[in-house]
Structure 1
Amino acid sequence: MQTTRYDSSVVAFQQKRGGDSAAFFVPFLTADMVLLDAGCGPGTITADLAGIVGKAVGIDIEPNAIAAANRLAACSGLTNLTFIEADMTALTFDDASFDAVFVHAVLYHQSPPKLTRTLAEARRVLKPGGVLGTRDADVGGNILHPELDGVRLALDLWQRWYEHEDPAALHFGRRQSSILRAHAFTPVWAGASYVNHSADAVSRKEAVADARRSLLGLGPQLVGKGLATDDDIQAALAGWDAWGRDPDAVYFRCRCECVARRD
């Protein structure tokens, strides 16, 4: 079974990029809700949501992510925030335990059978009338300038790392509404936003540093699995360095968003 891969560079990137990832979902939440963040990673977004709802529970199958999340919880002072190591395809919660379920940057990594199990479990633990918020990637919506070969190679290497079994997964974001409807949810809102890696010189420098850290961290594993060569890694690093030297460079990552109800 395919699982999402983690290492320290992936967790660090998630910690830095939590930001406004759940902003689209906030209007559908109230202070008395119990919320589940399925695939919470290091818990940054879960902690933000805990400040809005009555109780927030984050789950992730990866021990390193939950360890980072628990460190965050210990420092946050939030008493309504809990993190649990768990599998989103086989939740241990009772039926109708949550008013809201949030799933961010997870579903497009999943094979069709695993996606079906994940959404069935989300529906099971939601109360009737509860809301599901999903936000996921759509590679076709990304905006990059200049379109340097090395940067394009780096983006391809990251896709190889996640080993998408279905090429359509790269356009998962735009299909969220139809996918949720096919799994017995009723979509009520859809939208999109961008993660901006190029707002100014500082953010461009940070984007290059993040890219280099990720490529250097994942590189040996990509090479070891036969997914890349050492020359590929060096070309990708050089591409990001060149991108970062361009004062007019832009990189906006598209994220599509959907809110659906369990009727």
Structure 2
Amino acid sequence: MTSSSVYASTHDAATIRTHEWRTIANSAAYLIPHLKPNMKILDVGCGPGSITIDLATNYVPQGSVIGLEYSSKPLLHAQKNLDAAAAAKKGDNNNEINVQFVQGDVLDMKHLFADNTFDVVHAHQVLQHVPDPIKALEEMRRVVKPDGQGIIASRESASMTWYPKLPELDMWYNDVYLQVGRNLLGGNPDPGSFIHVWAQKAGFERSMITCSAGTWCFSKPEERRWWGGIWAERVLDPDYVEKAVDRGGYCTREELERIAAAFKDWAEDKDGWFTITHGEMICRK
């Protein structure tokens, strides 16, 4: 069994901050109409747990949520975030947050979860970082409840666009970001426009798949400074430099430094605009 280990970024501090920003409102709003207070949910690729904890706290308070993550490092942050959320609820009549974090591989969950267990299996920006996304969806399908009772919810980036069109950012996206993720590591960067095709290959009927789209847009000054600053850090993280420069040969260290500077320049441009389009799907078996 191949490990889910083709994550193009690293679990550096900047990447963790990016993932901790994610909530149901900004990253999984399409799932809200399907949630009920007593549901049992599996959050695949939970990272530092911000969506996992949000689900348990605000959407399924009488239910339970398990966050599954293949890497131990983000789970340390997830537990700290859970402890902080529980401390913030002290004094409430019900201060329980029914969340459990588990280290494991979405490609091989048989030893962790039985068939037909969960009401919802959720995955945000996960399939693109798995070497066999169809196998991952098959495993997610196995553990979700049958007969249309349970759902799989998946959201993946489909495209990135920005203004002004700085050549260094074009180089970052086309020559580094896509190349490291796809050719060096064997992932599938930005697959949002065809995740429903993967779902059909994993056994879902097309009539049981509902597609939608969502966006992130960074245009306000504080949004630009946050997004540009995080990416300026991420492209210079030592592990990412090792992948892009030493292993892949897709750029030089000096070019990554120019890319980082360009992200900072973009962030300070009053007309700066960056959007990521996501493909979303709800699948029933």
AA aligned to 1:59 is L
Q: TM-score, normalised by structure 2?
A: 0.83
Q: Which residue of 2 aligns with 1:76?
A: 85
> C-alpha separation between the residues in 1 aligned to 2:11 and 2:185?
23
Pick one of 138, 152, 171 that aligns with 1:153: 171
Q: Which residue of 2 aligns with 1:243?
A: 266
Q: Does the aligned pair in 2 maintain the 1:151–1:243 contact within 8 Å?
A: no
- Mean Cα deviation higher: 77-86 or 37-46: 77-86
> C-alpha separation between the residues in 2 aligned to 1:165 and 1:235?
22
1:32-86 Cα offsets, whole Å, 9 max, x none, are 2100001111111111111312111000000001111111111111421111111
List alignment gaps of at least 5 residues for structure 1: none
AA aligned to 2:17 is A
- Mean Cα deviation higher: 160-169 or 6-15: 160-169
Pick one of 108, 118, 126 that aligns with 2:128: 108
List alignment gaps of at least 5 residues for structure 2: 87-95
Q: Does the aligned pair in 2 maintain the 1:109–1:164 contact within 8 Å?
A: no
Query: The residue matched to 1:3 in structure 2 has which SS?
Result: coil
Identity of aligned residues (%): 24
Q: Which residue of 2 aligns with 1:97?
A: 117
Q: CA deviation at 1:167?
A: 9.5
Q: Which residue of 2 aligns with 1:175?
A: 194
Q: CA deviation at 1:10?
A: 2.2
1:164-210 Cα offsets, whole Å, 9 max, x none, are 57999345211122221221224442111111122x11111112211
Q: Which residue of 2 aligns with 1:12?
A: 17
Q: Which residue of 2 aligns with 1:35?
A: 41
> C-alpha separation between the residues in 1 aligned to 2:125 and 2:144?
20
Q: Which residue of 1 aligns with 2:135?
A: 117
> C-alpha separation between the residues in 2 aligned to 1:231 and 1:250?
25
- Superposition pairs of residues 86-235 of structure 1, within 5 angstroms: 86-91=104-109, 92-111=112-131, 114-128=132-146, 129=148, 130-139=150-159, 142-156=160-174, 157-164=176-183, 169-186=188-205, 187-198=208-219, 200-218=220-238, 219-221=240-242, 222-225=244-247, 226-235=249-258
Whether 1:56 and 2:65 are equivalent positions in the alignment is: yes
Q: Does the aligned pair in 1 maintain the 2:229–2:267 contact within 8 Å?
A: no
AA aligned to 1:133 is A
AA aligned to 1:39 is G
C-alpha spacing 1:164/1:136, structure 2 compared with 1 (3 Å): farther
> C-alpha separation between the residues in 2 aligned to 1:65 and 1:124?
26
Pick one of 16, 27, 43 that aligns with 1:21: 27
AA aligned to 2:197 is S
Q: Does the aligned pair in 1 maintain the 2:36–2:59 contact within 8 Å?
A: yes
Matched residue pairs, number?
257
Q: CA deviation at 1:220?
A: 3.2
- Mean Cα deviation higher: 165-174 or 70-79: 165-174
Q: TM-score, normalised by structure 1?
A: 0.89
AA aligned to 1:231 is E
Q: Does the aligned pair in 1 maintain the 2:45–2:126 contact within 8 Å?
A: yes
> C-alpha separation between the residues in 2 aligned to 1:93 and 1:166?
28
Query: The residue matched to 1:42 in structure 2 has which SS?
Result: coil
AA aligned to 2:78 is A
